[in-house]
Structure 1
Amino acid sequence: MYGRIIVAVDLEHIDQAKALFKRAQSLLDAGGEIRLVHVLEELPGFIAAELPHDVETRRKAEAMVELKALTDPASGLRVVPDLRHGAASGQIMKAAEDSNADLIMIASHKPGLRDYFIGSTAARVVRHATCSVLIQR
């Protein structure tokens, strides 16, 4: 069905990420590619100043290990872990653009109060993506 799929992974909701990845596998064309995208949001300066200098390096390393743990090398699927920095919705759409994706898959979480004012990541992706978007609850 789809040759290039972006799976937006929130490592704080790993069960949803696993379910999305499993569903992506069933939608992928033979020879296609799944790109697991996780976005590390920038730490505010006043917080970063109080943390050890290597905390960002550790965050990146830990996130990459968790992304790679979602994949099964024996499956024969082409799965690319993609770790990005910045605003989640923008980076997910940038990943889709960079890889010429056919589909973005993203989980929907229970919205918090701030989501009612600025919109959730999934809502922003749906409004602005240039390819198909599948939202899983």
Structure 2
Amino acid sequence: MFKSILVPIDLSDTDLTKPALDTAATLAKTYDATVRLINVLQMTPVMLAEYVPADFDIQQRQSSEQALAIIAKESGIDAAKISTVVRQGGVYHEVLDEATSVGADLIVMTSHRPAMRTYFLGSNAGHVVRYATCSVLVVRH
């Protein structure tokens, strides 16, 4: 049923993303699917650019790539079936672009419990659910 599963990983709160990763691992084993982990780095605000080292973006990307590699290794998913990518930009834009790029037929992600602010502004998970062209499974923490 599923051949390519995309899992957005928030490295600032890996406990929140663990249920999605566990779910994706189970589905990947069940359907012999591949899993792609994605972490999206926010753009450094222009007003802060002069206060951070010149290679800040490079350091941040390398740190994220290393953290994703550890998560992938510890996921229990066969190494030949899992890959990682770090992208930079808006979270839901990059998740949707990556889903298209890898031909994902399922996105598995976690979401915080709804708060009043997300009813008006929307959350990243909400945007992904609304605009994804593939199935989306939102796992509540």
TM-score relative to the length of structure 2:
0.88
Structure 2 counterpart of 1:69: 70
Instruction: Point out where structure 1 has 5 or more consecutive residues left out of the alignment.
Output: none
Q: Does 1:11 align with 2:14?
A: no
**Superposition CA RMSD, Å:** 1.8
User: Does the CA contact (< 8 Å) of 1:6 and 1:105 recur in 2?
Assistant: yes
1:67-103 Cα shifts (integer Å, max 9, x gaps): 1111228752411111001110010000100011110
CA gap 1:114/1:53 in 2 versus in 1, 3 angstroms: farther
Aligned length, in residue pairs: 136
- CA distance, structure 1, for counterparts of residue 55 and residue 105 of structure 2: 37
Match runs of 1:36-115 below 5 Å: 36-72=37-73, 75-77=77-79, 78-111=81-114, 114-115=117-118
- CA distance, structure 1, for counterparts of residue 100 and residue 134 of structure 2: 9
Q: 2:120 aligns with which of 114, 117, 121?
A: 117
Quote the sequence identity (%).
32
1:28-85 Cα shifts (integer Å, max 9, x gaps): 222x210001100101101112111111111111111111111228752411111001
Return the letter of the residue paired with 1:52. P
Q: Which secondary structure does the structure 2 equivalent of 1:133 belong to?
A: strand
- CA distance, structure 1, for counterparts of residue 116 and residue 6 of structure 2: 27
Return the letter of the residue paired with 1:136. V
Return the letter of the residue paired with 2:10. D
Return the letter of the residue paired with 1:53. A
Instruction: Point out where structure 2 has 5 or more consecutive residues left out of the alignment.
Output: none
